A and B are shown apart, each in its own frame.
Chain A
Amino acid sequence: MSVANKNIVYGLYDAPEQLLSAVKEANADHLDIWDVFSPFPVHGLDPLLGLSESRLHIGGFIFGLTGTLTAFLGITWIFTRDWPQIFGGKPYFSIPAWIPIIFELTVLFSAIGMVLTFFIVNGQGPGVNNPILDTRITDDKFCLAFDATDEDGGKYRAFLEKTGASVVNEKSI
């Protein structure tokens, strides 16, 4: 997928605490972290990595609103303009009877939209093969990775060893 190969130096830690303190030290040493990988979400990591809050919920709201309007405007047009009919003595424009469908479409649009957004911004999808640094990242290891494409990986290796990584490795992806 990537145009130019990257040379990644990474270390595997055994516990999330070790990872957190290593990230703190890397920040103090002004080392540029490429990415951090873990088998489950490590809380407290996002501010250290300078990750801003996910904006997925804003997307969810917009998709939901699209669903609400689709249902409301769609039914309104159908039942007042396209083919007005009287059902059970209700007026053509009877909002209370439409609430269930408006609600369902809000939820449906919001859920589908958010899940698609999630996969697209993550670069994920059926059959996508993103490079995997180490197969134990999804098992029990916490990985801190540096991009050493344009520089010597030596300082990163030294840093990872110093902070207690149990495995230090280099990989071209």
Chain B
Amino acid sequence: MSAITSPIREPLVQGNKSYHDITVDLCTPTERTPTRAWVIAFIIAVSALTLGIVCILITIWVGIGTWNLNRTIGWGWDITNFVWWIGIGHAGTLISAILLLFRQKWRTGVNRAAEAMTIFAVMCAALFPAIHVGRIWIVFYFFPYPNTRGPLWPNFDSPLLWDLFAISTYFIVSLLFWYTGLIPDFATVRDRARGLRQKIYSYVAFGWTGSAKHWQRHESLSLILAGLATPLVLSVHTIVSFDFATSVIPGWHTTIFPPYFVAGAVFSGFAMVQTLMIITRKVLNLQDYITRAHIESMNKVILVTGTIVGVAYLTELFIAWYSGYVYEQFAFFNRALGPYWWAYFGMMTCNVLSPQLFWFKKIRRSITWTFFMAVFVNIGMWFERFVIIATTLARDYLPSSWSFYVPSMIEVGIFIGTLGIFFTFFLIFVRVAPVVAIAEIKHIVTSAGNQYVDDNRDHHEELVAETIQKVEQES
């Protein structure tokens, strides 16, 4: 259906793709033998994962003493990494759910990979709270179930328990949303496959036929899941920020935290999507589906959320000064000029200043610039969490207990390990599932494919020229 498309809209699918071209282009990455680049990347990722597992086992075997936490600084890299990963996850839900509700067609190019990223990031995030409790073998005490300890229940009034519920719900809902979206595409792969591959994809495609009633239900389900995931994603990082905001630590005890954390989460998540998609589109040859228009749209989101984060930083500083509360004032003075000044400096440069370059259209549309900016933002957002957590704890009320914290090799190893987990899963994902949602691209191609958009534009220009001529003749 060549639906009416605004002539100023940029095509979202390039290369005059027919339905069959789309099937072939998006299925082939799962069908051919892995490329050398993929194998090398996979080996690196699995090595990092192995390192992570070793470090986690040492942590469990020896105890939390292997980390350089001390009586003053109880949260270090563990919770920093936890918040960083969970934040990264947020972009996937934003793209798949919020942009679906807003009917943004450009989401179709990136939503599948972004949702996968969410799931893997949440897995990495969930690892940290689980291991930081020290005695992981009784970690199931967190869950409310009738038990022989009284029954003694968890504390439902505690933000830490809210967090458990939020993260678990977020992981399950994201997984369901992602998988139901994948089912029609698994069916496409199934119908092209032979032998064992066909058997495997038949199994995972859940017997999808493409019947009209099934499609109707599928659309209804996607829309409602999007409607549920939208408040959910906002609630998850809000609750993560409650872990800090409901405490009485100066620098944490602020009402600005929930919106500021959510904006920061979306900001860092989009940066990670950019990092992944720029490499993926190049390696899998998907430039026709993930176009510069997609990258520019995401850069606009990065610019907006980066600016919100910047405003939040400045608001925090202003309120600390304006409150007249010396402990709060000191907390912020210490962040900017204390022993961790470099983390604060890194955070400000990477998060507030560098995204401002995206005001320039040339930079917004440049692949190289975008890639480096995305890496910058990821580093900056990691620093932000480090600044909030470790810097604040290092200088508490009693100068006699002031401390300084440098992570141990085990902590660094676990962080590298989570990067390994994340990339291992992502690399497996690009091998086994279509990275771009096939059915959704087919759905939009007749309104957003370049051949149709160009036709529309030509037609529109002709109409304009004719009208001008007519008016000129009449006058």
Interface contact B211-A127, CB-CB below 8 Å: no
In Å, the complex CA distance between A57 and B221 comes to: 8
Residue from the set A87, A90, A140 with the largest chain B CB neighbour count within 10 Å: A140
Interface contact B442-A37, CB-CB below 8 Å: no
Interface contact A46-B216, CB-CB below 8 Å: yes
Known: A104-B168, A129-B207. 14 other contacts (CB 8 A): A35-B211, A36-B212, A37-B211, A38-B215, A39-B188, A41-B216, A78-B153, A90-B157, A111-B228, A125-B207, A128-B207, A130-B207, A136-B191, A143-B210
Q: Which residues of A contact B159 (CB under 8 A)?
A: 100
Interface membership of A139, Cβ < 8 A: yes
Interface contact B216-A101, CB-CB below 8 Å: no
Interface membership of B20, Cβ < 8 A: yes
Interface contact A16-B1, CB-CB below 8 Å: yes
In the assembled complex, the CB of A169 is this many whole angstroms from the nearest CB of chain B, namely 15
In Å, the complex CA distance between A54 and B169 comes to: 25
Q: Which residues of A contact B166 (CB under 8 A)?
A: 100, 104
In Å, the complex CA distance between A143 and B208 comes to: 15
Interface contact A107-B232, CB-CB below 8 Å: yes
- Kindly identify, within residues 70 to 126 of chain A, every residue whose CB is under 8 Å from any CB belonging to chain B: 74-75, 78-79, 82-83, 85, 87-88, 90, 94, 97-98, 100-101, 103-105, 107-108, 110-112, 114-115, 118-119, 121-126
Indicate which residue in A54, A100, A124 contacts B207 across the interface (CB closer than 8 Å). Answer: A124
Interface contact A122-B214, CB-CB below 8 Å: yes
In Å, the complex CA distance between A131 and B438 comes to: 22
Interface contact A39-B172, CB-CB below 8 Å: no
In Å, the complex CA distance between A110 and B228 comes to: 8
Indicate which residue in A97, A105, A110, A139 contacts B192 across the interface (CB closer than 8 Å). Answer: A139
Q: Which residues of B contact A98 (CB under 8 A)?
A: 156-157
Interface contact B220-A78, CB-CB below 8 Å: no
In the assembled complex, the CB of A106 is this many whole angstroms from the nearest CB of chain B, namely 9
- Kindly identify, within residues 331 to 373 of chain B, every residue whose CB is under 8 Å from any CB belonging to chain A: none
What is the total number of residues of chain B having a CB less than 8 Å from a CB of chain A? 66
Interface contact B169-A104, CB-CB below 8 Å: yes
Indicate which residue in B204, B212, B232, B239 contacts A42 across the interface (CB closer than 8 Å). Answer: B212
- Kindly identify, within residues 43 to 88 of chain A, every residue whose CB is under 8 Å from any CB belonging to chain B: 45-46, 49, 51, 53-54, 56-57, 60, 64, 74-75, 78-79, 82-83, 85, 87-88
Q: Which residues of B contact A45 (CB under 8 A)?
A: 212
Indicate which residue in B153, B208, B219, B235 contacts A41 across the interface (CB closer than 8 Å). Answer: B219
Given contacts A132-B191, A138-B188, contact A111 B225 (CB under 8 A): yes
In Å, the complex CA distance between A134 and B461 comes to: 42
Interface contact A107-B231, CB-CB below 8 Å: yes
Interface contact B217-A46, CB-CB below 8 Å: no
Interface of B, helix, strand, loop or mixed by DSSP: helix
Interface membership of A135, Cβ < 8 A: yes
Q: Which residues of B contact A75 (CB under 8 A)?
A: 156
Interface contact B235-A104, CB-CB below 8 Å: yes
Interface of A, helix, strand, loop or mixed by DSSP: helix
In the A-B complex, list the 10 residue pairs whose CB atoms are closest, starting with the nearest.
A128-B207, A140-B19, A135-B191, A130-B207, A100-B162, A41-B215, A54-B220, A97-B157, A124-B206, A138-B188
Q: Which residues of B contact A121 (CB under 8 A)?
A: 217
Q: Which residues of B contact A137 (CB under 8 A)?
A: 191, 209-210
Interface contact A108-B169, CB-CB below 8 Å: yes
Interface membership of B224, Cβ < 8 A: yes
What is the total number of residues of chain A having a CB less than 8 Å from a CB of chain B? 66
Q: Mark A134-165, 1 if CB is under 8 A from B, else 0.
A: 01111110010000000000000000000000
Q: Which residues of A contact B144 (CB under 8 A)?
A: 74, 78
Query: Which A residue's beta carbon lies closest to that of B242?
Result: A100
Interface contact B19-A39, CB-CB below 8 Å: yes
Indicate which residue in B162, B177, B192, B210 contacts A39 across the interface (CB closer than 8 Å). Answer: B210
Indicate which residue in A39, A104, A112, A131 contacts B165 across the interface (CB closer than 8 Å). Answer: A104
Q: Mark A24-42, 1 if CB is under 8 A from B, else 0.
A: 0000000000011111111
Q: Which residues of A contact B19 (CB under 8 A)?
A: 39, 139-140
In Å, the complex CA distance between A124 and B213 comes to: 13
Indicate which residue in A42, A112, A119, A138 contacts B172 across the interface (CB closer than 8 Å). Answer: A112
Indicate which residue in A111, A122, A124, A136 contacts B173 across the interface (CB closer than 8 Å). Answer: A111
Interface contact A40-B211, CB-CB below 8 Å: no
Q: Which residues of A contact B184 (CB under 8 A)?
A: 39-40, 138
In Å, the complex CA distance between A88 and B180 comes to: 42
In Å, the complex CA distance between A74 and B157 comes to: 13
Interface contact A41-B443, CB-CB below 8 Å: yes
In Å, the complex CA distance between A122 and B157 comes to: 40
Q: Which residues of A contact B35 (CB under 8 A)?
A: none
In Å, the complex CA distance between A49 and B218 comes to: 17
Interface contact B440-A40, CB-CB below 8 Å: yes
- Kindly identify, within residues 181 to 198 of chain B, every residue whose CB is under 8 Å from any CB belonging to chain A: 183-184, 187-188, 190-192
Interface contact B156-A35, CB-CB below 8 Å: no
Interface membership of B161, Cβ < 8 A: yes
Interface membership of B155, Cβ < 8 A: yes
Residue from the set B192, B224, B225, B439 with the largest chain A CB neighbour count within 10 Å: B224
Interface membership of B47, Cβ < 8 A: no
Query: Which B residue's beta carbon lies closest to that of A55?
Result: B220
Q: Which residues of B contact A88 (CB under 8 A)?
A: 157
Interface membership of B176, Cβ < 8 A: yes
Interface membership of B202, Cβ < 8 A: yes
Q: Which residues of A contact B173 (CB under 8 A)?
A: 107-108, 111
Indicate which residue in B157, B216, B442 contacts A40 across the interface (CB closer than 8 Å). Answer: B442
